[in-house]
Structure 1
Amino acid sequence: MTFSKRLTVLMAHTLIAASMLGCASNRPRDPFAQGLDRGPTPGTLHMMSRLLIDQRQPEKAEFVLQRIIAEHPGYAPAYVELAELQARTFRPDEAIATLEASVANRGKDPVVLNNIGVLYLQQGNADAAVDAFGDAVDLDGGEARYWSNLGLALAMVGRDDEAFSAYRRALSLAETHWNIGVARAARGDGEAAHASFETAMELDPSFANDVAPMGPPTASVPTP
């Protein structure tokens, strides 16, 4: 074979090879292979963190949740889950900071704001709780638990008239008087608490079967 013929054959093979490479690069890759290249989704990591919590490995769960927040700052459930874990391990300040980071990164969310309010109440900071619950009801006025929590916070700072209005968005009239009585008892106003309990029992005699709580009232945390 002459040199010119060999060159023609070589060029032909080169063009064929180039064409084949081009076709290969344009073909969709195997979906399984593509999946192997991707990292775990935030939902997958969140599920992993819950499994670790169930297995009583909170430190590892916290590491996973912090990874989610670092890599996917818009994934709301990670903030809520991490804050709950921090609160359960007696770190309320860290829990509040985590939820406030959610607000900073994602904007205001009623679930997050409600949970911030609950943590403030647990710390005895009812004034800050009023602000958080107030923001929550501004964003989602249809959620009864936010109104009930706002009523509790208002009652704890002695703003009983406003508490009454907030409670009535979520509770019956008898339940409202009973809950205000609980808050009055918690803040040491026994006479006013007794009057509230009496009114509740007059409106609904079934309350006579209940024992007026003597400990601090608690707020409600909805599922994110």
Structure 2
Amino acid sequence: MISLAAFPIITKWPAQHPERLQLYSLATPNGVKVSIMLEEVGLAYEAHKVSFDTQDQLSPEFLSLNPNNKIPAIIDPNGPGGEPLALFESGAILIYLAEKTGQLLPQAPAARYETLQWLMFQMAGIGPMFGQVGFFNKFAGKAYEDKRPRDRYAAEARRLLGVLEKHLLGRTWIMGDEYSIADIATFPWIRNLIGFYESGDLVGITDFPNVLRALDGFVARPAVIRGLNIPS
């Protein structure tokens, strides 16, 4: 039996199935990247909700797993060499799970690096910029009388959507016909921008039909439907 007793986080979120991959997350755009990935590749896992309402992410137990106090994070009891592996950062987790399962990341070197390129595009651009749009359009920033910060981030979000729109012309997914971790990273953020952040009109989302088409295909996938609600 694999023991996870060495990980302090287990004291706050006990593992009912310690032989399974342990996911510590919340159903945010970054969080659902990993739950969707796990549903897509079919790995057995156990999900634990890290509640922002009670500041679970700042607890000593969670910080022992991710000192950067962000979700998601995982412990794989069957990591490299059969040893447990703790990992944080959603992009790193996607790469790890793709390599562990041999799924959703091309094996051919050129296609592999192109996929990682678009994964980094999401992590460095889409995620941070869309998050700022959400702050200034829906959360505390919406009360600011000066709308220049909001408009700056909305313009950058629109620019990033334009890059993706052009790239998706004639393509089903970011990598063409093959669905990949680049899609899993990107489309939860676009969905959030339009839905939860209520910013579709602000960025002119209807000007990006290729993005909307791919988004529709993404949210219709059974694994995505499941993963978007994990942890419940």
- More helix by percentage: 1
Bigger Rg over Cα = 1
Q: What is the TM-score normalised by the length of structure 2?
A: 0.30
- More strand by percentage: 2
Q: What is the TM-score normalised by the length of structure 1?
A: 0.30
